[in-house]
Amino acid sequence: MFRNLSTVGLPLSGRPSELIELALSFGFDAMDIDIVDLKQQADVYGVPHARRLMVSARLKSGTFQLPVHLDADAATYEQEMAALPKLLEMAEAAEAKRAVATIAPASDEHSFKDFFELHRSRLHDIGDLLAKHDISLGLNVRPEAEAREGKAFSFIHTFEGLLGLVLVAHERVGAIADSWVFHVTGEPLDLISKVPQGRLVEVRLSDAPRDTEASALTTVQRLMPGDTGVISMSAILSQANTAGFDGPVTPWADRTALAGRGREKIVRVAGDRLEQAWKEAGLPIAPRWFTPVQRDQFGRPIGEDAIFAGAE
């Protein structure tokens, strides 16, 4: 397993070089990538230029958001699928092997049975494209009751329900083990062992407030892992390790929960918490070698550091 920083999981903004420097400074081994933005850069400047920051920093590619909405109307889905092959070529060039997507928890248009079949069919088509580039897709769910309110038909919103879809989906489709999902739904962590071998794509870590029943939690209450200790970080890591998982572990929190914390503090705390989780789970940590970026009196990177910390 390796420590992964996501600017979606921990909503962060800034120049890519700044975010990469923070990831390196605070113990992360990988970062998620924006595959659409990377493709646009590659179209203008070429693939080596688009990849230069991550390559120079020696960071792995973590995951990328699947640029297809599984619940989209037919016209939107066909348009997104038409663009997908080129984006997957870019992902392969960037050595990004894991795409991720979240299942809609409810629908006004489709009954459970029809929605399930729609997802199964679309995931089969997407899986065929992913297989050509040795990429896997990890699916996650939204477990909060608020996400299903006002909808005509409920859909998959538990890990066990997700497993039911994964088991009939394309072999390139797997699951994300999200500690927030297990906490909200009250499901046992040993369900992770039921994910088919090699199809656990990512582990996400979060925490929750002490004074709210798990089933009543809302999205904005999703806290940084380790904030309260209500959700055990080490327990899910231990289960994933036992299942043979060797992929990205990503801290995840709602923007509201991070209010008042500066960008550097957010990444530093997240890095420290992951190191703590590793130790509690008895997992070895391979320390990264990193020398802070050298800058001149104006704050500009100098020498070799300018390769990844300077131009965008």
CA gap 6, 43 in Å, rounded: 24
Residues of the chain scoring pLDDT < 70? 286-312
Distances (CA, A) of 209 to 10, 123, 178, 216, 232: 17, 35, 17, 11, 13
Burial of 265 (0-12, 13-18, 19+ CB in 10 A): exposed
**Domain ranges across the chain:** 2-309
Are residues 133 and 93 in contact, defined by beta-carbon separation less than 8 angstroms? no
Q: Is the pTM of this model over 0.95?
A: no
The set of residues, in sequence order, having a beta carbon less than 8 Å from that of 304 and lying 6+ positions away, is none
| Distance from C-alpha of 299 to C-alpha of 292, rounded to nearest angstrom | 13
The CATH number given to 2-309 is 3.20.20.150
Q: Which residues are within 8 A (CB) of 270 and not within 5 positions of it... i.e. 6 or more apart?
A: 5, 10, 26, 224, 225, 251
pLDDT on residue 217: 97
pLDDT of residue 279: 95
Whole-number Å distance between alpha carbons of 310 and 130: 34
Instruction: Please provide the size of the chain in residues.
Output: 312
**pLDDT for residue 255:** 94
Give me the pLDDT at residue 89, please. 94
Say what the pLDDT of residue 305 is. 46
